[in-house]
Structure 1
């Protein structure tokens, strides 16, 4: 279970998140929704350790945890970025195996075995040797998810997972996220797509613009 207690985040004299409390139960999906500029992505960046909070605490399974200073944060909270952030000069296989070998100190053979299992599961087995520019948007997203899963995170976060995709792929993203839920993965999804959020969520968290003043 992931818990946020009294989280506050400011930029200069503007408070974006003010004493926020939030709980994400194990195996459930939390959708964070709200209009642009309300602080959804800032909240996600704080959870994933990309931004340092000004105040408050994080807990994983009751243990205090600082996502900003934790050096192996990807093995606790994984993230799938809106634009995927794949390394363009690396193949799909290399994108997936890089962090497990460098951060988790897996052997190359172990990392490749795990990557092959993930690629098969995500219907990407035939794309292991391709580069990101050779993939469709949906394929890039699945590679980004495989890369995050390779770190064996407790929680997997997504930043606007449908925004860079053709609308007819939204249902495929829903199936993928629900499939991970069936496997017990705890997930946090930031999205402006309310229908998509409602379709996948166990809990909804609405971020309001006036919370950022």
Structure 2
């Protein structure tokens, strides 16, 4: 279980998030929604350790956890970026195996075997030796998900997972996310797409612009 207690985030004199409390239960899907500029992506960046919070506390399974400074953060909280952020000079397989070998210290053979298993599961086995530019947007997204899953995170986060895709792929994204839920993966999804959010979420959390 992931808990956020009294989280506050400021940029200069502007308070984006103020005293926010949130609980994400194991195996559930939380959708974070709200208008543009309300702080959805900032909140996700705080959860994933890309931004340092100015106040508050994170707990994972009741234990204090600091995403920003935790060296093994990717093995606790994974993230799938809106634009996928794949390394263009690496093949699909290399994109997935890089972090497990460098951060988790897996052997190259173990990392490759696990990557191939993930690619098979995500219907990408035939694309292991291709480069990101050779893939469709939907395929790139699945590679990004495989790369995050390769780090064996407790929680997987997504920033606007449907925004960079053709609208008719939304149902495929829903099926993928629900498949991961069936496997017990805890997921947090930032989205502006309310219908998508309602279809997948166990809980909805609406972020409102702070008035301070």
Interval of TM-score (by shorter of Structure 1 and Structure 2): over 0.9
Deviations 1:43-75, CA, capped at 9 Å, x for gaps: 000000000000000000000000000011100
Note if 1:51 corresponds to 2:46: no
CA distance in 2, matches of 1:47, 1:156: 10
Aligned length: 212
CA distance in 1, matches of 2:211, 2:27: 29
The answer (yes or no) to whether the contact 1:17–1:212 under 8 Å persists in 2 is no
Aligned residue in 1 for 2:145? 145
Aligned residue in 2 for 1:112? 112
CA distance in 2, matches of 1:13, 1:212: 12
TM-score relative to the length of structure 1:
0.99
CA distance in 2, matches of 1:178, 1:35: 25
Aligned residue in 2 for 1:23? 23
**Where in structure 1 are there 5+ consecutive unaligned residues?**
none
Aligned-pair CA distance for 1:102:
0.2
Aligned-pair CA distance for 1:212:
5.2
CA distance in 2, matches of 1:181, 1:91: 28
Aligned-pair CA distance for 1:184:
0.1
The answer (yes or no) to whether the contact 1:90–1:131 under 8 Å persists in 2 is yes
Aligned residue in 2 for 1:198? 198
The answer (yes or no) to whether the contact 1:14–1:212 under 8 Å persists in 2 is no
Matches within 5 A, 1:37-116: 37-116=37-116
CA distance in 2, matches of 1:106, 1:208: 42
The answer (yes or no) to whether the contact 1:18–1:212 under 8 Å persists in 2 is no
The answer (yes or no) to whether the contact 1:35–1:192 under 8 Å persists in 2 is yes
Deviant stretches of 4+, over 6 Å: none
Local SS of the residue matching 1:44: helix
Matches within 5 A, 1:114-133: 114-133=114-133
Local SS of the residue matching 2:130: coil
The answer (yes or no) to whether the contact 1:38–1:212 under 8 Å persists in 2 is no
Deviations 1:52-106, CA, capped at 9 Å, x for gaps: 0000000000000000000111000000000000000000000000000000000
